[in-house]
Amino acid sequence: GAGVSQSPSNKVTEKGKDVELRCDPISGHTALYWYRQSLGQGLEFLIYFQGNSAPDKSGLPSDRFSAERTGGSVSTLTIQRTQQEDSAVYLCASSLRPGTGSYEQYFGPGTRLTVT
């Protein structure tokens, strides 16, 4: 079956512009996660969605970052007024509801964001 897909795969933008990154999770996965991976760093948690529950936004680094998940499926991560330090690979993952059976997050290929 289809895995997690993300678009675009690469995005180059000018400082100060807004960007939207899209994630299509695996069908049937109720949980969705966004991470940021900077050069030489591990994965930094950004936000978690589970079904219709309020998302855990505790990892968002500033109020320029926001995310939505429409209809319990597709998610969009929006970065407003981009800064050079926002340059990174943004990874999306999905899973079955945590605590149900074997817990595994399935990752998409990521969006490489470069802010010039």
Partner 1 sequence: TQLLEQSPQFLSIQEGENLTVYCNSSSVFSSLQWYRQEPGEGPVLLVTVVTGGEVKKLKRLTFQFGDARKDSSLHITAAQPGDTGLYLCAGVGSGAGSYQLTFGKGTKLSVIP
Radius of gyration of the chain measured on its C-alpha atoms: 14
- Residues near partner 1 (CB under 8 A), total: 26
Query: Residues 6-10: contacts with CB within 8 Å, 24+ apart?
Result: 6/90, 6/91, 6/92, 6/108, 6/109, 6/110, 6/111, 7/111, 8/111, 9/109, 9/110, 9/111, 9/112, 10/111, 10/112, 10/114
Of 11-19, 28-36, 63-71, 80-88, the segment contacting partner 1 by CB under 8 A is 28-36
Question: For residues 54-113, which are near partner 1 according to CB under 8 A?
Answer: 56, 91, 93, 95, 98-99, 102-105, 107-110
Q: How far is the CB of 16 from partner 1 (least distance, A)?
A: 28
Helices then strands, counting H and E runs in the chain, come out as 0, 10
47 scored as a contact of partner 1 (CB under 8 A): no
Of 11-19, 48-56, 66-74, 75-83, the segment contacting partner 1 by CB under 8 A is 48-56
Q: Given the rule CB under 8 A, which residues bind partner 1?
A: 4, 31, 33, 35, 40-45, 48, 50, 56, 91, 93, 95, 98-99, 102-105, 107-110
